[in-house]
Amino acid sequence: MNFDAMDNLTDEIALNAMSWAREAGALQLKYFRGDDLDVHTKLNDSDIVTVADKACEALLMSHIKEVYPTHSILSEESGSTNEGSEWRWVIDPLDGTTNFGSGLPVFAVSVGVEHNGETVAGVVFAPYLNEMFHAVKGQGAFLNGRPIKPSDNDRLSRAVVATGFPVDKDSTPDNNLDNVERIMPLVRGLRRLGSAATEICYVAAGFLDAHWELNLHLWDVSAALLIADEAGARHRFFRTDRNISVVTASPGIFPLIDPMLSSTPRV
């Protein structure tokens, strides 16, 4: 495939991903704050899945399989399908399920698309907030069609940052509290919004100055990290032993917060 043909296909894929994410978001809103969520636990009481997760996943996978039948899919609820393709869709049908199940409005559909292992398109759609983030590699990042960029803040004392906690926090002391203890006294504010994809996109748009979290998975960050990179933010994987552990920050805050994050387990 020549470069022009690949660029055209990537643009087409991004447009389809945005359209399908909107469909999934509309489906989420039909279930949101309803009485038929059918909540089930997975690993423990902190790790849940709802009927909306499964319905949105089925919708997205149906579209992908129909339009791109040779493409691979990696999804939170179903794992991998059709492995071996040069194209792979990485989807989290409902990022922020705990928020969703509790009636809190910060949740999103996340769709990243890889070509030969590199993420080339990313879409994060927060339906209740009507915020559509998207990026295509080399073309910048956008919120509802408008270009975005990180904050220009370079003082930690003026930074508003976000984090999250791993679902196994009940069974291991390696639960991010050490990082919180170091960073919280030094920043203007610490937030825990409950959707890693949304928080990383908020760094990209300058609404947050930084986000870090450990023990995430590829479907949590695939789309959002491309959006952050294309907007001009920086990121680093600061742990290698806790799945995906990543910090994302504006250029001015990244060198201040990154060295504070522990690269070793808390004991």
Q: What does 150-206 look like in DSSP terms, one character per residue?
A: ------GGG-EEEE---TTTTT-S-SSHHHHHHHGGGSSEEE--S-HHHHHHHHHHT
DSSP H helical ranges for 68-176: 97-102
Report the distance separating Cα 221 and Cα 201, nearest Å: 10
Report the distance separating Cα 88 and Cα 79, nearest Å: 12
Report the distance separating Cα 143 and Cα 133, nearest Å: 4
The answer to whether 189 and 202 have CB atoms below 8 angstroms apart is: no
The number of residues in the chain equals 267
Measured N-to-C along each axis, helices 51-67 and 3-31 cross at an angle, to the nearest 10 degrees, of 150
Please report the pLDDT score of residue 267 as a whole number: 61
Q: Is the model's pLDDT at 45 over the cut of 70?
A: no
Please report the pLDDT score of residue 256 as a whole number: 98
pLDDT digits (tens, 9 = 90+) for 179-206: 999 999 999 999 999 999 999 999 999 9
pTM over 0.85: yes
Please name the helix (run of DSSP H) or strand (run of DSSP E) that holds residue 221, with its range, or none. helix 218-231
pLDDT digits (tens, 9 = 90+) for 50-104: 888 899 999 999 999 999 999 999 997 777 877 889 999 999 999 999 999 999 9
Report the distance separating Cα 252 and Cα 263, nearest Å: 21
Location of structure tokens 């709802």 = 50
Query: In the predicted model, what is the mean pLDDT of residues 246-258?
Result: 98
Q: Is the model's pLDDT at 48 over the cut of 60?
A: no
- Domains along the sequence of the chain with CATH: 3-147 (3.30.540.10), 156-260 (3.40.190.80)
